């Protein structure tokens, strides 16, 4: 099976369709609402953990948005071999948050000042991004390694891992946990309201109402939260009017030891990008096997690397293809990359004018959680569909079951493998990496072609 059949497709607009302006704008805003807070949060977390100045943290946030806009433009337009040509949205890679905090804290304890810390962190990020660029050229030789079963496991693990983020926001977020209000009536009520509104509008026959389901749910939730006094505008104070990108604003420093750690995370992010792009291709009714798929995969990973080079140069944390948007595509039925061009332009504008962008951070966590819990679950469903396209014979069942068990096990308690050397532990403490690496190893070790293998009942294939 080399393609995903368009029969019974739920898409309203296919990849190369050009929706009317008002529907394009609605689709772009919906995607922005889904990604904006996760996009700016890493910079805010790193800034708070390293006790960076307000000016530096604000600059990191603005550059994240500008770099994401540039990266999204490259991905959706596909210049030559650069870009997937899909509605692939670029955003800050969460995998780097812990690493940046650990490395930055170490330098801070050694007495290094803020500017030197930033120059070192961004310097190793800049060089490490070329590892992703290089890996894109060897992807065609990894077809035996990165099969639909492996890609499906990675997508499934991405969705299942993100569900944890969504459900925590549903209950009020980490701030609510600290204040003791996590899971109170207000948070759960707002989260359920948003969830029900999104489900209700997605059951409508009207394409416009279905497309706007997520946005309408978020708007309704925001209004109710505001009336309940849950909206905090304190983050809007003392922001610069305009933020202009300055290449190597903090200078350039390179530490080889730091590079080894950051480089490892970059290489692991390639596996995650492969899963994200595969999921985007599937929900966009494009092939997930064959030459077209391989070309999109190669171009998408190449764009990931180049965008991280640009992002690190202007002062942003590294970027990657975002999984969240696959859920948005499924919920809205809009896979048009034309919408991606609007998203790219809007992200750059939001980055240049930080006051506009920072407004999105005032959206209460339960509002986001109500929508994200459903969207992230849709990503997990996409992973299951990818796995089934390759069949679920005994061999594939063993690979999926083992990978899922170890990946989810790590998500429940990341310290389980802490006895391993630090260089290996950094690979397996992340559930996505643990599940993906397990799938790759088993795919190489378990022999192919057993005659007694029988696929699962035909009814499972109906999910494809």
Convert the pLDDT of each residue in 106-125 to its tens digit.
788 877 888 888 899 899 99
Q: Is the pLDDT of residue 94 over 80?
A: no
> What's the farthest any 2 CA atoms get from each other in the chain?
69
Distance CA 172, CA 385 (A): 31
Tokens of 320: 């990657």
Dihedral sign from CA coordinates of 48, 52, 55, 60: negative
pLDDT digits (tens, 9 = 90+) for 134-177: 988 888 777 777 777 887 888 788 788 778 878 888 998 878 88
Q: Given the structure tokens 């889904």, which residue do they identify?
A: 34
Task: Identify the pLDDT of residue 449.
Answer: 62
Which tens digit of pLDDT belongs to each residue from 389-447? 777 888 899 999 999 999 888 888 878 888 887 667 766 777 877 888 888 899 889 88
- Eight-state DSSP code of residue 447: P
Q: Which residues contact 176 (CB under 8 A, 6 or more apart)?
A: 182, 183, 184, 187, 365
Count how many Cα atoms sit within 13 Å of the Cα of residue 291 in the half-sphere of its side chain. 0
Residues with Cβ within 8 Å of residue 288, at least 6 apart in sequence? 3, 4, 148, 151, 278, 281, 282, 386, 389
Name the residue among 305, 317, 319 with its Cα closest to residue 90. 319
Place of tokens 């812990």: 98
Question: pLDDT (tens digit, 9 = 90+) per residue, 261-281?
Answer: 788 778 777 877 888 888 888
Q: pLDDT per residue over 329-368, tens digit each?
A: 887 788 888 999 999 999 999 889 877 767 766 788 898 8
Q: Which H, E and C letters describe 235-283, residue by residue?
A: HHCCCCCCCCCCCCCCCCCCCHHHHHHHHHHHHHHHHHHHHHHHHHHHH
Q: What is the band of 3 on the pLDDT scale with cuts at 50, 70, 90? A: very low
- Distance (Å, rounded) from C-alpha 447 to C-alpha 394? 11
For 75-93, b/e burial (b = at least 16 CB within 10 A) is: bbebeeebbbbbbbbbbbb
Binning the chain into helix, strand and coil, the percentages to the nearest 5 are 70, 0, 25
Q: Is the pLDDT of residue 284 over 90?
A: no
Q: Higher-confidence residue: 80 or 379?
A: 80
Residue with tokens 């943290």: 57
- Do the Cβ atoms of 375 and 324 come closer than 8 Å? yes
The pLDDT, as a whole number, for residue 45 is 67
Quick check: 63 and 316 in contact, CB under 8 A? yes
Tokens read off for 400: 């999926």
Query: Would you place residue 127 in the very low, low, confident or very high pLDDT band (cuts 50, 70, 90)?
Result: very high
User: How many other β-carbons are positioned within 10 Å of the β-carbon of residue 142?
Assistant: 16
Q: Residue 196: pLDDT above 90? A: yes
- What pLDDT, on the 0 to 100 scale, is given for residue 461? 47
Per cent of the chain over pLDDT 90 is 19
pLDDT of residue 423: 62
Distance CA 18, CA 335 (A): 10
Give residue 357's pLDDT: 64
Two tokens, residue 330: 């499924």
pLDDT at residue 20 greater than cutoff 50? yes
User: CB-based contacts of 394: which residues, under 8 Å, 6+ apart?
Assistant: 450, 453, 454
In whole angstroms, give the CA distance from residue 64 to residue 62. 5
The mean pLDDT value of the chain amounts to 82
Q: What's the distance, CA 404 to chain centroid? A: 19
Better-scored residue on pLDDT, 295 or 206: 295
Q: End-to-end CA distance of the chain, in Å? A: 11
Domain residue limits, the chain: 21-445
Q: Please say if the pLDDT value at position 221 is more than 90.
A: yes
Q: Residue 450: pLDDT above 60?
A: no
Q: Which H or E element spans position 300?
A: helix 290-314
Q: Compute, in degrees rounded to 10, the torsion defined by CA atoms 253, 254, 260, 266.
A: 60
Q: Are 300 and 88 in contact (CB under 8 A)?
A: yes
Q: What is the pLDDT of residue 405?
A: 93
Q: How far apart are CA 407 and CA 402, in angstroms?
A: 8
Report the pLDDT value the prediction gives residue 147, as an integer from 0 to 100: 79
Entry field: residues in the chain: 464
């Amino acid at each position: 099976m080399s393609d995903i059949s368009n029969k019974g497709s739920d898409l309203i607009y296919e990849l190369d369709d050009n929706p009317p302006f008002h529907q394009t704008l609605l689709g772009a805003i919906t995607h922005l609402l889904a990604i904006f807070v996760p996009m700016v949060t890493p910079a805010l977390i790193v800034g708070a953990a390293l006790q960076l100045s307000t000016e530096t943290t604000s600059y990191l946030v603005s550059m994240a948005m500008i770099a994401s806009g540039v990266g999204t433009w490259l991905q959706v337009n596909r210049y030559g071999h650069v870009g997937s040509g899909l509605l692939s949205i670029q955003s800050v890679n969460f995998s780097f948050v812990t690493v940046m905090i650990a490395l930055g804290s170490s330098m801070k304890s050694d007495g290094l000042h803020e500017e030197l810390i930033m120059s070192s962190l961004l310097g190793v990020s800049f060089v490490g991004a070329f590892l992703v660029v290089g890996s894109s050229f060897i992807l065609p030789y990894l077809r035996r390694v990165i099969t639909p079963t492996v890609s499906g496991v990675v997508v499934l693990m991405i969705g299942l891992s993100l569900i944890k983020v969504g459900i925590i926001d549903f209950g009020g977020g980490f701030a609510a946990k600290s204040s003791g209000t996590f899971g109170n009536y207000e948070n759960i009520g707002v989260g359920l309201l948003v969830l029900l509104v999104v489900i209700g509008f997605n059951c409508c026959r009207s394409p416009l109402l279905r497309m706007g389901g997520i946005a309408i749910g978020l708007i309704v939730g925001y209004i109710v939260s505001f009336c309940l006094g849950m909206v905090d505008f304190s983050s809007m104070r003392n922001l610069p009017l305009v933020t202009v990108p300055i290449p190597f604003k903090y200078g350039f420093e390179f530490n080889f030891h730091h590079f080894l750690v950051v480089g490892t995370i970059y290489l692991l992010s390639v596996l995650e990008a492969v899963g994200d792009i595969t999921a985007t291709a599937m929900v966009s009714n494009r092939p997930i096997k064959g030459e077209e798929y391989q070309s999109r995969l190669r171009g998408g990973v190449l764009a990931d690397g180049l965008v991280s080079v640009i992002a690190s140069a202007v002062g942003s944390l590294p970027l990657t293809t975002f999984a969240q948007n696959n859920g948005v595509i499924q919920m809205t039925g809009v896979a048009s990359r034309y919408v991606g061009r609007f998203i790219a332009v809007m992200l750059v504008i939001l980055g240049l004018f930080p006051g506009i962008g920072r407004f999105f951070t005032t959206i209460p966590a339960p509002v986001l959680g109500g929508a994200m819990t459903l969207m992230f679950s849709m990503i997990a469903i996409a992973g299951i569909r990818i796995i089934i396209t390759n069949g679920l014979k005994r061999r594939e069942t063993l690979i999926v079951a083992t990978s899922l068990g170890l990946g989810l096990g790590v998500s429940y308690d990341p310290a389980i493998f802490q006895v391993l050397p630090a260089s290996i532990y950094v690979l397996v403490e992340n559930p996505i990496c643990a599940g993906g690496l397990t799938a790759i190893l088993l795919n190489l070790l378990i022999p192919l072609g057993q005659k007694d293998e029988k696929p699962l009942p035909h009814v499972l294939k109906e999910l494809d």
